[in-house]
Copies of this chain bind each other. A is one copy, B any other.
Amino acid sequence: MQRSTIREILKLTHKKNMISFAGGLPAPELFPLKRFGQALAQTIREDGAAALQYDVTEGYRPLKEFLCGWLRRRGLRCGPENMMLTNGSQQALDLLGKVLLDPGDTILVEDPTYLGALQAFNAYEPAYEAVPMDSEGLRVDEAAQAAARRTPAFAYLVPTFQNPSGVTMSVARRKAFLKIARRRGFPIVEDDPYGLLRFYGRETPSFYELAQGRGVIYLSTFSKILSPGIRLGFVVSEPAMITALVLAKQAADLQPNSLIQRAVNRYARGGFLDGHIPVIIRAYRERAGLMLRMMEKYFPRSVGWEEPAGGMFIWARLPAGASASRLFKMAVRQNVAYVAGSVFHACGGGDHTLRLNFTNSSPEQIREGIRRLGRLFTAEL
């Protein structure tokens, strides 16, 4: 296993005065410290010892019930038997690898895709079919060919506000891909950490909704809407899949954190989650807009990008032949950082691409950082 490139970059970018668009960190100034602190205190006071004792592997039932109701409002019909809690979505990816993969199995992924998923799956020694994307998301024609070459063990997709590309897969494409998955008989892992962070437009129905839950494993997390440090995510799927994942979690670390689950349940049932998400959206929409305006102003015409309708990232394309990794080293010397796109490509390529995060920088940092990058790109491209 390789040390995570992103985590290594994060260390580098902890340098003082560094303007970092490299990480995928939420804005810390938006964490609901007071409300969540109150939920914690109330949990200790009212739940007492149960908050510190062992609990069931599948997750705290009242929280599961809350989440099911909350998801139903977004079109995901599920009950507690369809759900388990995990240590962020990352643990779900690891457990899925353990449950679904034999060495040499193929995973169909978007090209580019979330690096953390590749890291989780790599421990189980799979092969990848990396299917290209365009502005409507996964190229379903290419996916059909890939699935015909060899039926994948599963497809892993981040269909909404994708990390790293920011792209959202259209409903038509989702329906078409679902048909392919049905015909070939492979499940779809739908990773949705950003779906609630929508700046514009209407929500795209999830694969889980379109498939009415059949053959879809839906993952989401509290990391981007509450706190990543509390490590709490959830999986929604068919009961048999949940049972298999629960057994894997039991072996992996027994259960989710009792205290955190209860505190999140209190916080969420208090309505604070619903109240807080619009605050995050407003801030991120402003930062994304500012970053896009600055890119428009300072980046040379040869650099292209698409405006994300939500999420945390802008994906940029340098002209063919340019190297985002080479330019990264020069950028860091000018105290500004991004992630060179090649690390997000399961099967190589993409060195002319790069990912910019806009959620973890102030407006001033966005202005100054993009100005520096613009100067560098103008000089070097």
Contacts and interface: CB of A to CB of B under 8 A. Distances in A.
13 contacts: A3-B247, A33-B51, A33-B52, A37-B40, A40-B44, A52-B230, A87-B254, A87-B257, A90-B253, A94-B251, A94-B253, A116-B254, A257-B257
Contact of A52 (B1, B31, B53, B122): B31
A99 to B, nearest CB: 9
A106 interface: no
A91 B86 CA distance: 13
Given A229-B52, A229-B258, A247-B2, A57 B7 contact: yes
A257 B87 CA distance: 9
A33 B57 CA distance: 23
Nearest to A6: B250
Contact of A1 (B91, B123, B248): B248
Given A41-B40, A257-B231, A94 B53 contact: no
Interface in A15-60: 23, 25-26, 28-29, 31, 33, 36-37, 40-41, 44-45, 48-57
What 6 pairs between A and B have smallest CB-CB spacing? A229-B258, A28-B49, A52-B227, A37-B44, A87-B253, A91-B253
A81 to B, nearest CB: 15
Contacts of A119: 250-251
A98 interface: yes
Interface string A69-106: 00000000000000000111011001000100000000
Interface string A229-273: 111000000000000100110111111111110000000000000
Contact of A28 (B53, B87, B257): B53
Given A230-B257, A260-B260, A252 B31 contact: no
A4 interface: yes
B1 A251 contact: yes
Contact of A33 (B1, B3, B44, B254): B44
Interface residues of A, number: 60
A248 B229 CA distance: 18
> How many copies of the chain does the oligomer comprise?
2
Given A4-B250, A31-B49, A248-B123, A229 B55 contact: yes
A86 B253 CA distance: 9
A252 B4 CA distance: 12
A311 to B, nearest CB: 17
B36 A52 contact: yes
Interface string A330-343: 00000000000000
Contacts of A122: 251
Contacts of A187: none
A228 B44 CA distance: 15
